[in-house]
Amino acid sequence: MEKWFSRKNRREASSFQTNSTAATKSITKSLLQNPCLINSQSRAKQFHAQLLKCYSFPSSSSSILIIYCRLRLLHESFRAFSTIPSPSRSSWSSLISCSVASGLFPLSLSLFHRMRAFGFPPNRRLLPNVLKSCASLRNYKFGESLHACAISFGLDSDLYTTNALMNLYCKLGGWQKELNLFEEMPKTSSSMDSVRKLFHEMTERDVVSWNTVIGGNVEHGLYEEALSMVKEMTSAGLRPDSFTLSTVLPIFAEVVNAKKGKEIHCYSVRSGLDIEMFMGSSLIDMYAKCTMVEYSYRVMSRLANPDAVSWNSIIAASVQNGRFDEGFRFFREMLGLKLKPMAVTFSCLMPACAHLTSLHLGKQLHGYIIRGGFDGNVFVESALVDMYAKCGNICVARRIFDAMPSLDMVSWTAMIMGYALHGPAHEALCLFRRMEMENGKPNYVAFLAVLTACSHAKLVDDAKNFFDSMTKDYGITPCLEHYAAVADALGRAGKLEEAYEFISKMHIKPTAAVWSILLGACSVHKNAKLAEKAAKKIFELEPMDPGPHLILSNIYSAAGKWKDAAEIRTIMRRKGLKKQPACSWIEIKNKVHGFVAHDTSHPCYFKIIEAWEALKDQIRREGYVPNTDDVLHDIEEEQKIANLCGHSERLALVFGIISTPPGTTIRLTKNIRVCVDCHTAIKFISKVVGREIIVRDLNRFHHFKDNRCSCDDFW
């Protein structure tokens, strides 16, 4: 019988379709010799029951243990293991491998200790597994002791063990780097030296050995070395596989080199590796990081069965490239395929809500997050903090931040930037100092956040101190944005000459955006002379931008220099420059309503005008005097402002007031800065309608309440 099914049909045998005890015994005996035939949980359990019927259990328990371990049924494996009176090294080894495969790394290490206490030496099958646990747990000390153990048992020349040792050193190098928060690690860190030494001493190397060292180099930022190793590997007669390619593709994503990335893509097509799942998501990510998201979409469309990572990659690719609608479309498609979203899915998608200022969408995703139990994930929670802050709900952002079990640099920065945008600068500064104490070395984004807070609050001395500390204490070279924030602080504080000096002495060439900060400050502080100097620099760098032309023209008008203002307008006409339309939007009953300046297309336009007329009378009685300084050049527009409510933020605001119940907080967004007159008008409106009004503009949030604004000294 045994010979019969071995020869004829092994699969049939594993279904136990016989009632004969003798036959059952025979089949069972053969299955014990071929445990790979039992390939499902139910089959394993069925077999286990047969085994108990036919044999005295202890003698066969090692075999069922192997079957359960192979199927990664940890609970059943432990039960089987506990019935073995004297487990062999092989039984220990199976259980340890099963724990590692199940991701229970601490358990695997404790089992290894217990096995060693019984006097069993490690073998070439076991050690790579234990080394993997060490790498995952970042247990450097134990990893080193395992290396010594490998040497003492003569396993240091074993290919699998050496590959695992190299992997351990590659991973632990990164961890040591994290520990040395205040010290810059040398480019070729000691961990990579150990890896190189091991690699060079190897008598036999396989593709895994090469891939491991290439991956280590990539992890340590040694991109040139990684790429030259790929060439060396080919010269040594080994063909790069999908592991090699998906290891090096992130290099081209990082350095934004789509040309080289495409070469890898072509190679993968020629080698038939492009259909591999890991390759697909690496390619999607590489193209997205190189801002070639259309290629990401093409790669995705060619994947036969995209897995969860592919979906997350394409969602991330869309959101990172500002394709928010596509991001949500892929998310819905993913849900439609009954694929469960993961923590990564939400941390990819949440920034779309923040960018769209869509509190409604953000809250919906927050609901998913809570139901899915992802609210303990630091990436997801940081994205939530950022979303609530960007959507105008700084209090909820803070509540989530305070409840976070662990904080990383990004969570601190998101919260600090939230305060920087909303106004309470002292909160931002306070958090930054707490972060320095609790989290260690701030990065350049964290400095940008705290400098933004200083600039909005005109804290010139603090801005200068943080700026100096960045280089002096943390060795971070300031970039354009840091300079811009300090220049902004000086400009807002009216220290225009100092701002000009500061920009002129920058160690990198100031861009038009930096000079525009000074021009904006000159406009506020009515300094036409310096404005001319700043505008000249801008016109050299970006001659076709209408914005600076308009600002300079307005500065001239305000100073009574009508001839100069007219000349600028003539230049604009000659260059064909037109004012970019301002746009504001507001979310009412889960629908976004957009308004451009002088927009008459909204179905409620006449209701809006009627309501504005009534409001205008009320705020005038409260003391509002229209200020049209910034539109003197445009008579037609001035008339519109006087007679209607031409500015987009006013249209959106009045629509919000007439569409929501009294007392409701109104949140709206504008694509450029709120104009001076609207800012004043909204303050009065907040009082007469008794509402809190939150306006997000290009630079920051404005909280209006009872005729006051959070940035009252802003202008």
Partner DNA sequence: TTAGGGTTAG
| Residue 16: CB minimum distance to DNA, A | 31
Question: What is the C-alpha separation between 470 and 446, in angstroms, rounded?
Answer: 10
Q: Which residues contact 265 (CB under 8 A, 6 or more apart)?
A: 274, 283
Asked if residue 301 lies in contact with residue 317, where contact means CB atoms within 8 angstroms, the answer is no
| Residue 668: CB minimum distance to DNA, A | 19
| Residue 46: CB minimum distance to DNA, A | 28
| Residue 84: CB minimum distance to DNA, A | 23
Q: Which residues contact 649 (CB under 8 A, 6 or more apart)?
A: 582, 584, 668, 670, 674, 675, 678, 682, 695
Q: Which amino acid is at 560?
A: G
Cβ proximity to DNA: between 144 and 307 the closer is 307
600-to-296, 637, 657, 715 alpha-carbon distances in Å: 39, 14, 18, 30
Cβ proximity to DNA: between 241 and 638 the closer is 241
Residue 135 main-chain phi, psi, to 5 deg: -65, -45
Q: How far is CA 110 from the centre of its chain?
A: 35
| Residue 397: CB minimum distance to DNA, A | 11
- Write down how long the chain is: 715
Q: Closest Cα to residue 677, out of 641, 640, 634?
A: 641
| Residue 134: CB minimum distance to DNA, A | 11
Q: Closest Cα to residue 28, out of 51, 58, 60, 52?
A: 51
Cβ proximity to DNA: between 345 and 669 the closer is 345
| Residue 113: CB minimum distance to DNA, A | 19
Cβ proximity to DNA: between 5 and 474 the closer is 474
Per the listing, tokens 């180099």 go with: 217
| Residue 276: CB minimum distance to DNA, A | 6
Cβ proximity to DNA: between 174 and 602 the closer is 174
Which H helix or E strand runs over 702? strand 701-705
| Residue 354: CB minimum distance to DNA, A | 6
Cβ proximity to DNA: between 409 and 558 the closer is 409
Residue 705 main-chain phi, psi, to 5 deg: -160, 130
Specify the DSSP class assigned to residue 697.
-
Q: How far is CA 108 from the centre of its chain?
A: 32
Q: Which amino acid is at 139?
A: N
Which H helix or E strand runs over 696? strand 693-696
Cβ proximity to DNA: between 363 and 533 the closer is 363
| Three-state secondary structure string covering 634-681 | CHHHHHHHHHCCCCHHHHHHHHHHHHCCCCCCEEEEECCCCCHHHHHH
Cβ proximity to DNA: between 394 and 446 the closer is 446
Cβ proximity to DNA: between 345 and 553 the closer is 345
Q: Characterize 443-471 residue by residue with b for buried, 16 or more Cβ atoms within 10 angstroms of its Cβ, and e for exposed.
A: ebebbbbbbbbbbbbbbbebbbebbeebe
| Residue 176: CB minimum distance to DNA, A | 17
329 token code pair = 């479309």
Cβ proximity to DNA: between 189 and 296 the closer is 296
Cβ proximity to DNA: between 243 and 297 the closer is 243
| Residue 493: CB minimum distance to DNA, A | 20
